[in-house]
Amino acid sequence: MVVRKVWLVPVMAVVTSTLAFLSSLIVGNMDGHLKTWITSVSTAGSHSPESCLFSQFLNISAFFLILTFYVRHRQTVEYYAHRLQWEGNAWRICSLIFMWVGIISAVSLTVVANFPKTEAILIHDTAAAFTFLTQIVYSWGQVVIGFAMIPHMASTFVNFLRLFLAILATFFVVLHEAALVLNPSKNNGTNLFEVHETIYSDNQASFNQTVFISTEWLMILAMQLFLLTFTAELRFAYAHVPRVVFCRSAMEIGYPAEPRHVKIVHIPSSNMAFVEDGST
């Protein structure tokens, strides 16, 4: 079976993650759990029932992210090793390493989804920071591969667009983590991870809070746009569904079936032919 719309894999990863963020934000405001529409992603998905939607959609998104990173690596190998007959393993190993970095970021995303901030703040925030950093590493890895390997799989515009998005995402992550570390509340004995994450409509809002929340959303937006750029190459790709082979006995597992010696016997009188099994 051939799957032709492979480009839908990164699209589904972006769609499901967007549903996780927006649904938790909308439901949280409708239930009165949030003081304002502008809040951090983690705060929006901290209370039930919005936390259930947040976890469900984010876990699905992590699944599609793993598929995206794997398909991206396999497409690189198919293009350079099989089509262009490139020799050497350095580029293949680099692509494989970045694939695993991406997969690790997706697994870390499931930790963010399944450990709410209200229940395990240290685990949640640590996993969130690790997810951001590994996705940044993965994006830069794809940028380097895109420019270093000639001929390019993508157009020059797509490669420079990825470079621009990677720079933006890195800039937003640095500002986000700086706002967390420089949180003024930590000087009052507050835990480092317990930064104020809601911008109030009155004068209580601070510049630190504004930077912390806005850079988180902007970084997520940059990374989602980066993932969508993979559709440029995946439009021309297709995949084969893995085959499942049923073995007649345990002895055949891992080994090809024994060849059967078959011969065709012709009968001139009747102009018919039958197959005689010569394996017995």
> How is the chain split into domains, by residue range?
2-240
Does residue 134 have a pLDDT over 60? yes
Does residue 15 have a pLDDT over 80? yes
Q: Which amino acid would we find at residue 102?
A: G
pLDDT of residue 228: 95
Q: Which amino acid would we find at residue 26?
A: I
Mean pLDDT of the chain: 78
- Yes or no: say if 206 and 200 are a contact pair by the CB < 8 Å rule: no
Residue 138 dihedral angles phi and psi, to the nearest 5°? -65, -45
- Yes or no: say if 23 and 54 are a contact pair by the CB < 8 Å rule: yes
Q: How far is CA 245 from the centre of its chain?
A: 30
CA dihedral 212→218→220→225, nearest 10 degrees, is -170
Neighbours of 108 (CB within 10 A): 21
- Yes or no: say if 44 and 21 are a contact pair by the CB < 8 Å rule: yes
The answer to whether the peptide bond before residue 49 is cis (omega within 30 degrees of 0) is yes
SS3 269: coil
- The whole model's pTM is what? 0.77
What pairing do the DSSP bridges indicate for beta strands 239-240 and 2-3?
A: antiparallel
Residues 72-92 pLDDT 10s: 999 888 888 877 877 777 888
SS3 272: strand
- Yes or no: say if 162 and 2 are a contact pair by the CB < 8 Å rule: no
Point out the least confidently predicted range of 109-113, 135-139, 160-164, 269-273: 269-273
Q: How confident is the model at residue 220 (pLDDT cuts 50, 70, 90)?
A: very high
Does residue 201 have a pLDDT over 60? no
Neighbours of 122 (CB within 10 A): 13
Does residue 17 have a pLDDT over 50? yes
